[in-house]
Amino acid sequence: MDVKAQIKILLALQGLDAEIIAINKSLKALPERLNEMHRDVAALEELLAKEQEALDQEDRWKREKEEEHQFLEAQIVKIRKQMQESTAHRETLALQRQLDTSRKQAADMEDEILQTMQAVDARRAQVEARQGDLVELKERFSVEEEEIRGEMDRLQAELGRLKTRREEGSVGLETSVKRRYDQIASRRHPSVVEAVDGHCTGCNMAILPQLYNTLYYANSMEFCPICQRMIYLKSAVFCDEEGSSGAPKADDTETSSGEEGADQKASG
Ligand SMILES: [Zn+2]
């Protein structure tokens, strides 16, 4: 197979490789999106667990205070009874002081309990809202996850088809050329580039006139000395299709850069 035909095959391979690269990129990004979603859910669950713990603690504290309050109330009843039964003046006075203290304590405790009840109610509303958010988030993610998994399956199938096409498309390519292409393609894309206006379009560096002239004949596989990419001249490789000769004899062969071509020819 001549060099022109091989370059055409390589360009077709490169087109497939561009698609493969894009698919692989998506196949890498999509699971990352899934991980991100799972992290969001985990973070919300953690937050919810903390708030639930705070709620339980406040609730426990409230119940303890309520028990203490009941105990105080019982104390008050007991003191009152003792006062009714008391005959000694000094004892009655002492009991009265005890009663006042207990009443004051009970009143303070009622205030505290009331405040805690309000805090607990607010916290409970917050926890319930958060639970609602979590359910909503999980539902949303479950739909999105299904879409992502479907998309990944589709991309995997497409990748398989592209790889088959790549295999089929490589038929006829010289082994050494294919190996060299794969070698370059594993590092850079595109790996087969056009020479335009005396420059490699891969690295934008100027090409020596001697190499540029070689490209006109398209009789050998050539490489950019700077970026090592395979390099070709469009007018030379596609001369049959464009109905023109790729040889440097005719000045009008290089459609896009005729002048440059002429310069190269003159200097070469
Ligand atoms: Zn280059």
Model pTM? 0.69
Compute the distance between CA of residue 81 and CA of residue 243 in angstroms, rounded to an integer.
Answer: 121
Q: Tell me the CA–centroid distance for residue 250 and ligand 1, in Å.
A: 26
Compute the distance between CA of residue 242 and CA of residue 144 in angstroms, rounded to an integer.
Answer: 49
Compute the distance between CA of residue 234 and CA of residue 17 in angstroms, rounded to an integer.
Answer: 20
Strand order in the sheet with 222-223: 199-200, 192-196, 230-232, 222-223
Q: Tell me the CA–centroid distance for residue 100 and ligand 1, in Å.
A: 97
Q: Tell me the CA–centroid distance for residue 70 and ligand 1, in Å.
A: 89
Q: Tell me the CA–centroid distance for residue 264 and ligand 1, in Å.
A: 17
Q: Tell me the CA–centroid distance for residue 201 and ligand 1, in Å.
A: 6
> 110: which residues sit within 8 A by CB, 6+ positions away?
69
Is residue 120 within 8 Å of 55, Cβ to Cβ? yes
Q: Tell me the CA–centroid distance for residue 64 and ligand 1, in Å.
A: 80
- Which ranges of the chain would DSSP assign to H, the alpha helix? 3-85, 89-169, 175-185, 209-217, 234-237, 239-242, 258-267
Q: Tell me the CA–centroid distance for residue 20 and ligand 1, in Å.
A: 23
Compute the distance between CA of residue 217 and CA of residue 247 in angstroms, rounded to an integer.
Answer: 6
- On the CB side of 228, how many CA atoms lie within 13 Å of its CA? 10
Domains of the chain and CATH, by start = 3-169 (1.10.287.1490), 191-267 (no CATH)
Q: Tell me the CA–centroid distance for residue 242 and ligand 1, in Å.
A: 25
Spell out the per-residue pLDDT of the chain, length 268, in tens.
899 999 999 999 999 999 999 999 999 999 999 999 999 999 999 999 999 999 999 999 999 999 999 999 999 999 999 999 988 999 999 999 999 999 999 999 999 999 999 999 999 999 999 999 999 999 999 999 999 999 999 999 999 999 999 999 999 899 999 999 999 999 999 999 999 999 999 999 999 999 999 999 999 999 999 999 999 999 999 987 755 444 444 344 333 444 444 444 443 3
Q: Tell me the CA–centroid distance for residue 188 and ligand 1, in Å.
A: 11
Ion ligand 1 contact residues with beta carbon within 5 A: 200, 202-203, 224, 226-227
